[in-house]
Structure 1
Amino acid sequence: MNDLNEQQVADYLSRHPDFFNRHPTLLDKLKFSEAHKGVLSLVEVQLERQRRHIRELESELDKFARLANKEPDIFLGLMPLQQKLSAAENFSRGLQKLNQWATEFELQQAKILLFNDRWQKNPDVAPQYWLDRNAFEWLRLERFGLRRFYLGELSNREKSLIFLPQELPVGSVACCQLGNRNGHQPDALLLFAAHDTRRFHNSQDTAFLKHLADIVELHLQRWLAPYKN
């Protein structure tokens, strides 16, 4: 019988989160190594992850507090989305919440595509949500340039890169690159699609979309932190 590979072990533990409840003695044997902290126990690793999660939540609350003070209309408009995403415990559930919120605004759909060189493959992300960076580069140069956003129509070739056949036809889109600050390549692409070709266009103000993207980016990091390259 062939030995299990790492992905098979990870998939099994994801499907059986109570595994260590049934095998508690294994916990004593598990050790984790971090360059700046040395060897850690599983409990220490879990505590550190909880601390990191608390810091992320504090950052999220601080961002919302500043938004409420500076732009209360945008803050109130985004509050329902923030509540939905905060209740989502993983990527797939978060995507459902985001899409639900978008359809309430009579949009066709919302989706997030992850660049395959920025994240490790994991069972929570279905194959259709991965995007090859090299394949995307020509679209980025054509539509984004040095900008974070693109709003408007796409060619059939461009649509086929980022939408499944069953998601077509698409009239216009609002696209945002996530995680591309300070000269870094983006981690993901946030997309909103509309049937109407006039719904999104390049003369629109992007202030609301900017804050929306910031919120989604915060939660994306929370959902997929263990899989970041």
Structure 2
Amino acid sequence: MKGTLGFEPLSAVRCPKKRKRIWLLRAAGSGQRVAGIGQRSLKWGRFSGQFQAALNELTASTGLKTMTEKIAEAGRDKQKKKAVTARQVADYLKGHPDFFVGRDDLLPDLTLPHQRGDAISLVERQVALLRERALDYRHQLVCLADNARDNEKLFERMRLLVLALLESKDLEQLIEVVNDSLNHEFGIEFHSLILFSEKPMSLPVRIEHTDVVVDALGSIMTSGKAICGQITQAELDFLFQEQAENVGSVAIAPLNYALSEPQQLGILALGSKDKDHFKASMGTLFISYLGDILSRILARQLRS
């Protein structure tokens, strides 16, 4: 029977006080003996105290270690093995000189100084510039991917709107589809649809004379092109009326159709509280497309 502390039992005697068996132990690999106990608690008064003292003295003199010490040392050794030193990395690279072959993606993240005194070499400067450009290109690529996803969502909403407009049976249903889609599908904060007519029309939409609109909006109407950005307060007041004070930027599409009579059918204005939401530098592809579709469907509905 071997104990867990590295001792071998020599013989057993009985404890006169507790009537328990006491083992005479010898350190494994040595000739020293010490009285000890078996698998019971060490709280046996004089016997346990003598045993513990002798055990401490024996472990100190023989260099033996307890299981707790062995476990702690094993843990430290394991951590040392896990930690990779710079020397180990250098030795590995020396033994594998072709390590970076086929791993070009690692090179931009490495720092390889190539200084000569206080000056920086031209090669290192070129590498730094190339790295900065690579980061810029990555950022631009991320922005392009985000814009592509946004455009895809916008296209899908536009497709559903166009299909709903084509299925409209009359002007009332068409106006309802436009209002519902702009409010819920596109999340437009403010919008204004104005139709031009010299005669009164019983429709849930604003009706104005063409001359009145041209006088109020000027070049916005005469250009016949969609625009984005900011307009004058007077133009905002005409388009959005009581909501004009809350509008910071707009996107406007004149509703013109060359094959209709009259050619100017109305105007569609979208507004946002954010002054930078609709910018003059923005493209007008989608708002122009919506204006073209709406103009043709309006012309057909007005003729029927």
TM-score range, shorter chain: 0.5 to 0.7
- How far does residue 75 in structure 1 lie from its aligned partner after superposition? 5.6
Aligned to 1:193: 271
Identity of aligned residues (%): 21
- 8 Å CA contact retained: 1:98, 1:110: no
Aligned to 2:247: 170
| Partner-residue secondary structure (3-state), 2:227 | strand
- What amino acid is the match of 1:89? K
Aligned with residue 80 of structure 1, among 148, 160, 166 = 160
Question: How large is the Cα RMSD of the aligned pairs?
Answer: 3.0
In 2, Cα distance between the equivalents of 1:222 and 1:153? 32
| Partner-residue secondary structure (3-state), 1:154 | coil
Aligned with residue 121 of structure 1, among 189, 200, 211 = 200
1:7-156 alignment to 2 at 5 Å? 76-103=156-183, 104-117=185-198, 120-123=199-202, 125-126=203-204, 129-143=206-220, 146-156=223-233
- Kindly tell me the number of residue pairs found equivalent between the two proteins: 151
Instruction: Tell which structure's C-alpha radius of gyration is larger.
Output: 2
Aligned to 2:303: 225
- How far does residue 81 in structure 1 lie from its aligned partner after superposition? 0.5
In 1, Cα distance between the equivalents of 2:221 and 2:255? 13
| Partner-residue secondary structure (3-state), 2:159 | helix
Aligned to 1:215: 293
In 1, Cα distance between the equivalents of 2:164 and 2:245? 26
Q: Which runs of 5+ in 2 are unaligned?
A: 1-150
Aligned to 1:204: 282
- What amino acid is the match of 1:121? P
| Partner-residue secondary structure (3-state), 1:163 | helix
Aligned to 1:158: 235
Q: Which runs of 5+ in 1 are unaligned?
A: 1-71
* Change beyond 3 A, Cα 1:108–1:181: same
After TM superposition, the structure 1 stretch with the greater mean CA deviation from structure 2, 152-161 or 72-81, is: 72-81
In 2, Cα distance between the equivalents of 1:174 and 1:208? 10
Which fold has the larger relative contact order, with Cα–Cα distance below 8 Å and residues 6 or more apart in sequence?
Answer: 1
CA displacement 1:51-85 (0-9 Å, x = unmatched): xxxxxxxxxxxxxxxxxxxxx96764521101222
| Partner-residue secondary structure (3-state), 2:164 | helix
TM-score relative to the length of structure 2 = 0.43
- What amino acid is the match of 2:190? Q
CA displacement 1:85-131 (0-9 Å, x = unmatched): 234333233222212222232211333211234xx4332x24x6112
- 8 Å CA contact retained: 1:150, 1:176: yes
* Change beyond 3 A, Cα 1:166–1:208: closer
